Structure 1
Amino acid sequence: MLFTDLGLSEPLLRAIAEEGYTSPTPIQAKSIPAVLKGGDLLAAAQTGTGKTAGFTLPILQRLSSSTKSGGGKRLLKVLILTPTRELAAQVQESVMIYGKYTGLKSAVIFGGVGANPQIKAIASGLDILVATPGRLLDLMSQKCVSLNDIEILVLDEADRMLDMGFLRDIKKILAVLPKKRQNLLFSATFSDEIKSLADGLLNSPELIEVARSNSANEAIAQLIHPVDRNKKQPLLAHLIKTNDWKQVLVFTRTKHGANKLVTQLEKDGITCMAIHGNKSQTARTKALADFKAGKLTALIATDIAARGIDIDQLPHVVNYDLPNISEDYVHRIGRTGRAGSNGVAVSLVCVDEHQMLRDIEKLIKQKLPQEVIAGFEPDPNAVAQPIQLRSQQHQQSRKPGSAGKPAAKRSSPPKRSFNR
């Protein structure tokens, strides 16, 4: 199938061709016709499958055919909600690239940066607004944005929005939207929480699922390196240097852990930066840009900050800490092995994380191969210690009589490939 077979307009096909693309990905081939029909949609797709273009292209098509040029002020017709700043910026980039010949106007708003330029962009008149829930509610409370004319609502990476606690914010936003509208919900998985949200939001939706939920990409080679907890950092430095890794995305469990790892790796002569929620938006943008440009060998990230990161043919992902939510393992390693290229996902696992590893293997329905690195053999007599998130440790340290309680487990995007 070609993009020319999907009924897209000439301005969109020209923009797609200029990016060097001819054939849609499976999610695009299914979602573009579905969105063009005007009905609600519930779509599940793994990261890196091209779902962003799967909704931006048909939305641009629908707006282009319905928006009349003239002297009247533009009415905001499309709202796209995303969980993170990085993903919001990525979606806006897609809208601008593929909509450059349509004459449509769009803007992106998120926290961490000044609101005045965003307010001015909205005031000038928009067709499409990409937003994170918090900043949108802030500007709504200041009466800087009106959602009275919204015709299409997109919830992108809805599972992550629920994980991050945005459900209440989403409900506040839904309450002020016009009742008659098209709703598009995209999620990496169809969890019970997502199904519940969809039941209350969608009207007889078309259901699209292009890959088995919670399955790992077969193009990714997965490997476990057993190691003691205090030898993880030396082992990571050893792997980067001996294998001459040029670009590796490293996941830590906490912000504090990310900062500490950056300091340690820099002492070993490895260029790296951290990206997490405590970093300013300017710092996060610079770190990501430098990493994409090859100025950094390692980018150290927490799960929330890394959601939506879209890197061209990223070769290596390392789980410095295994994730607390098993499903996040699939999201993490999905940053590599995209668009036909091979990738390697390495996990450094200490005795504390053995149950997490078993949970992950149960989820992905496969036993992951293990390799002990000479010089980093784990102590067979090591005793597991409870794993606590830093935020939980901080909260418990302030509560009398709560010291030593283990933290409860939580339940559980390359330019040349068309994975936008």
Structure 2
Amino acid sequence: MGLHPRVLEALIPLGYEQPTPIQEQAIPHVLDGRDVMGIAQTGTGKTAAFSLPLVHHLAHNMMHGRAVPRVLVLTPTRELAAQIDDNVKAYAKNVKVRTALIFGGVSQHKQVAQLRKGADVLVATPGRLLDLCNQGLLSLEWIEFLVLDEADTMLDMGFIHDIRRVMAMLPEKRQSLFFSATMPESIVKLSKTILTDPIRVEVARVSSAAETVEQRMMFVSQGAKRDLLVQLLNQQEVETALVFTRTKYGADKVVRYLKKNNIRGEAIHGNKSQPQREKAMNAFRKGKIRVLVSTDIAARGIDVE
């Protein structure tokens, strides 16, 4: 696909052999310098679709001296930001591209220290990014590429005003990439303020699940839902499970009920601190708990095998 040889080398140990449909469609346009509007579900390979060509560009156009932020990736959640940062680091391991991860819920000191060392790529949630800019600790004047990921979730979480403030700090001349799982009218309006003559790529029917997901539906009364959940989790073939809830309160309530029934679980949502969320995620990955309960919004960016 015309990517830098050293970037392609980094993909071999990751097991990447063929591009996914979103990568096949988006990467050539990004390499050509076009703005892109991508409609793709989580799990379709869209992180690589925008990250690989941007790492390619940075590798071909290295700046001398301390690195300054030239790529900004905005995401709605800390978990998704951390996942993208990990991926960019993996893709860039053979080239001198540095990243900085910026999100709230933790002390800013380590993040500021990383910025002072220099970073080519910023992966950030909007709130902490604006905090650092307003304190004069970060400048966006050198940004050449903007990526807005999970744009629909950003709007659901009320980030629209923060996004507009960030836009006002960016150079007018830039390449912008816009990714969303759905494309309601509010997203179309926002995209028109960010993109210039974009190429639209779409690889999944709007609101459809990724092909790797098997779906089943069970009709149950409100009062019987928790008992049914316990029954399902106690089935022999269910070793671990992710449970999604609409509200933070609901997530905590489900965890309490599971514990009463001797099922180990933890919740992650916006009211949990970053250390609490990381502790729960690590416990789930290591098998110390069987069930991870998350709000729909906090679930964006969860990466477990």
Please point out which of 32, 35, 38 is paired with 1:40.
35
Code of the aligned partner of 1:42: M
1:222 aligns with 2:218: no
More off after superposition, 30-39 vs 222-231: 222-231
Where does 1:22-171 land on structure 2 (aligned, <5 Å)? Answer: 22-68=17-63, 70=64, 72-171=65-164
| Contact 1:275-1:302 at 8 Å conserved across structures | yes
1:293 aligns with 2:264: no
1:109 deviates by 0.6
Match of 1:284 among 277, 293, 298: 277
Q: Deviations over 1:360-401 (max 9, x none)?
A: xxxxxxxxxxxxxxxxxxxxxxxxxxxxxxxxxxxxxxxxxx
- TM superposition shift of 1:263: 1.5
CA contact (8 A) 2:42 2:210 kept: no
C-alpha contact (below 8 Å) 1:45/1:209 kept by paired residues? yes
Alpha-carbon distance in structure 2 between the residues aligned to 1:51 and 1:202: 18
Does the 8 Å CA contact 2:244/2:296 hold for their aligned counterparts?
yes
Q: Which amino acid aligns with 1:105?
A: R
Measure how far apart 1:149 and its partner are.
0.7
Q: CA RMSD in A?
A: 1.3
Q: 1:12 Cα deviation (Å)? A: 0.9
When normalised by structure 1's length, the TM-score is 0.71
Give the aligned residue type for 2:43: G
Work out the CA distance in 1 between the residues paired with 2:218 and 2:183.
31
* 1:237 counterpart residue number: 230
Cα distance in 2, alignment partners of residues 155 and 53 from structure 1: 14
The match for 1:390 is: none
SS at match of 2:183: coil
Q: Secondary structure at the match of 2:107?
A: coil
Partner of 2:302: 309
TM-score, normalised to structure 2, is 0.96
2:3 corresponds to? 8
Tell me which residue corresponds to 1:19.
Answer: 14
Aligned residue-pair number? 305
Deviation of the 1:20 alpha carbon: 1.6
The letter of the residue matching 2:31 is L
SS at match of 2:193: helix
CA contact (8 A) 1:245 1:297 kept: no
Query: One-letter code of the match for 2:44?
Result: T
Deviation digits for residues 189-242 of structure 1 (CA, Å, limit 9, x no counterpart)? 121111111112111111100111122345533333233322222211111113
Q: CA deviation at 1:259?
A: 1.1
- 1:353 maps to what in 2? none
User: Is residue 240 of structure 2 the alignment partner of residue 247 of structure 1?
Assistant: yes
User: Computing the radius of gyration over CA atoms, which structure comes out larger, 1 or 2?
Assistant: 1
In structure 2, what is the equivalent of residue 389 of structure 1?
none
Residue matched to 1:194: 187
Q: Which amino acid aligns with 2:271?
A: N
Could you say which residue in structure 1 is the equivalent of 2:250?
Answer: 257
Q: CA deviation at 1:256?
A: 1.6
CA distance in 2, matches of 1:150, 1:192: 28
Q: Which runs of 5+ in 2 are unaligned?
A: none
Alignment-mate amino acid for residue 99 of structure 1: A
